[in-house]
Amino acid sequence: MDYSEDTIEWQVIGSTQQENSFNYSEQLNEILKKLNIKRLDHSQFRQRDYLGRGAYAEVYSGLYQEKEYAFKCLKDKLRLEDKKVKKFFKYMSRELELLSEVNHPNVVEFYGILQNPNTDNITFVLQLANDGNLRDYLKKKRQNGIFKILWSELIQIAKDLTHGLEHLHSKKIIHRDLHSKNVLIDRGKALITDFGLSKHLNNSLSSEVGGMLAYREPQSFKPIKYARDEKSDIYSLGVLFWELTSGNPPFSNYANDLAMAIEISRGGREKMIPDTPPNYASLYRNCWSDEPGQRPTLNEILDELKILSEETIEFFTNDFNNGAEVQRDESDEFSEQFSELFLSELDRPNDPITCEERQTFLIQNLENMKIKIRFDYSKFSEVQEIGYGGFSTVYSASFQGKKYALKSLKKSLYAYDESFFKQIRREINLLYQTNHSNIIKLYGFSIDSHSNFMTVMQLANDGDLRVYLRRKKIGDLYKIHWNEILTIAKGITYGINYLHNNNIIHRDLNSKNILIDHGRALISDFGVSKNLNSTISSTSMYGMVAYFDPHCIKHGIKKNKASDIYSFGVILWELTSGAPPFEDEPIHKIITEITSNGMREMPIDNTPVDYINLYCECWSDDPNNRPTLESILNKLENLSGVSAEFIENNFKIKSIKKKY
């Protein structure tokens, strides 16, 4: 459950769209008018096949005036109040502006927009690439563990990419997000697409993190100031050149993006595929050079590709049977922290199973677990939306005089994504197993009038811990009673202790997954938790980076009970700060600071020394030095005798992070 401050909107369901959601058509109309973008007749649009989705759009193939196009349809209920949606509008307006400027055979063509007269929803009309994205296209060339591609085709795709990039750079545009899912293939021709992260070179550029990390230059992951430019795209191009010989995405054997980012920042690159022509290998290695100044120009790349096209090679192959292939967990891309990096990324469904089939299976699964309490949705009253996120919407509601939280899951997600569907089942299964006063309670499920599946859960009246602490900030001063800190800390400790005693690790403890109900802490959100008796994958990217155990990242090991202790230590610090750890720091800097440099947040002034020592022990780099939960409880009990009345943090005084 996510009662984020950014997404909470107290609204009565049934009110008009103007009252309960941002009608983004007004914002878009200003952009369209400014850019003089062509409006097409919506009545002549016929939707056909689903192709994929992103955080804020779904893509279909279809017909317009009996010709085939790709249609990028923006989703309903985009809220201007949501910071992520504001960022989305920034990306979308940038993409529209750049699409309207470019015109090249190797850049996807933009024809205009459609606007639904009933909903005002906007749809981009784009060139349809019949062979899908480059990643999927290369996967189709694998049979019986062997990837095989015509050398002439490989070189032609490499040339197309270089020509497309050359056109963008001639328009003073850098793409900044070039990877194999943002390259489409149409009858063998490569098309560069997705300009959500692109920028004009004459605009102010920053080192803003975005795009798939495996294609990002190492400067992105280092605590230095730099601006992405043409050489950044050259680096990504080099990675794509390697992928054309591999048939597999780069660093696909890495369990998580954090470990991969550290590897790239330290100079790690993919190994050359056996039998790659030396000059081709030298070309992509020069492109992904650690030093931007050593990367070749696009003209130099085209000259080299012309020479390489004359190689007397018919096919290039990569035999995956020569070594075990470890696939990276694709579900990592759904983590909250990195969702903004992949706003425009589309994931094709792996199977054609329908929403209704998945939902039926989910209900059967609940009944098999003996969760048979099905609430009659028609008997709920006072239904109000209190949280809105990418995966679900949360409501408060009354049933027979008692208040509950209803978590409505988005059918489109669990219909098209197996990993998300497994998360739902896992969370329900674990919640049903638990029964503790500091763990959120699951009471049953319900199906609303639109056939949406809902879990019926305990309502936490004070929202999540992050929001709860922010409410204690008046002006620049955060102030909290010392006894309240201890009460919340003890409650979380009791909850973790209960989980660990039942062989459950949470794996995603942070201040948004702790709810407060009349001052009592409740641990929630078990979507990424696992029972220790079940198989646990290698470290995943789930969880907020600043709460993530650096030992797991650095050594590529599984999360365990000690990982929960680390995260809890960060929360203990946050209780005294009133702000999340490393707030407003870019993700790449957090990664470097907590893993390579051993950085932690500085203690807040006047915090009792024994409390500081406790959270420093919890977030120790060495898991063996972290205290047991029994020891933590004892120390918290002893801290009850401290004479402090309030803890205050003045946000006017900037703290400096250091190795503490």
Is residue 464 within 8 Å of 451, Cβ to Cβ?
no
Q: Which residues of 492-505 are buried (b: 16+ CB within 10 A; e: fewer)?
A: bbbbbbbbbeeebb
Separation between Cα atoms, residue 424 and residue 309, nearest integer Å: 50
The one-letter amino acid at 247:
G
Give the integer Cα–Cα distance in Å for 453 and 463.
Answer: 22
**Dihedral angle at the C-alpha atoms of 434, 435, 441, 447, nearest 10 degrees?**
60
Q: Which of 508, 525, 549, 564 is catalytic?
A: 508
Please give the Cα distance from 190 to 107 (Å, whole number): 8
Q: Which amino acid is at 146?
A: I
Coil, strand or helix: which one is 394?
Answer: strand
User: Is 508 marked active-site?
Assistant: yes
For helices 561-577 and 609-618, give the axis angle rounded to 10 degrees.
Answer: 140
Burial class (CB in 10 A: 0-12, 13-18, 19+), 65: exposed
Cβ–Cβ under 8 Å, residues 60 and 70: yes
| DSSP helix, strand, coil percent of the chain (3-state; round to 5) | 40, 20, 40
Phi and psi based region of residue 655 (left: phi greater than 0; alpha: psi -120 to 50; beta: remaining): beta
Neighbours of 165 (CB within 10 A): 25
Contact 47, 121 (CB under 8 A): no
**407 assigned binding-site residue:** yes
Instruction: Count how many Cα atoms sit within 13 Å of the Cα of residue 349 in the half-sphere of its side chain.
Output: 17
SS3 string, 610-626, reads: HHHHHHHHHCCCCHHHC
Please, where are the H alpha helices in 100-204? Answer: 134-139, 151-170
Among 347, 460, 331, smallest CA distance to 403 is for 460
d(CA 210, CA 220): 9
3-state secondary structure 303-365: HHHHHHCCCCCCEEEEEHHHCCCCCCCHHHHHCCCCHHHHCCCCCCCCCCCCHHHHHHHHHHH
Contact 173, 198 (CB under 8 A): yes
Q: Kind of pairing, strands 374-375 and 442-447? A: parallel
Q: Could you give the residue numbers annotated as active site?
A: 508
Q: List binding-site positions.
A: 72, 407
Q: List binding-site positions for ATP.
A: 72, 407
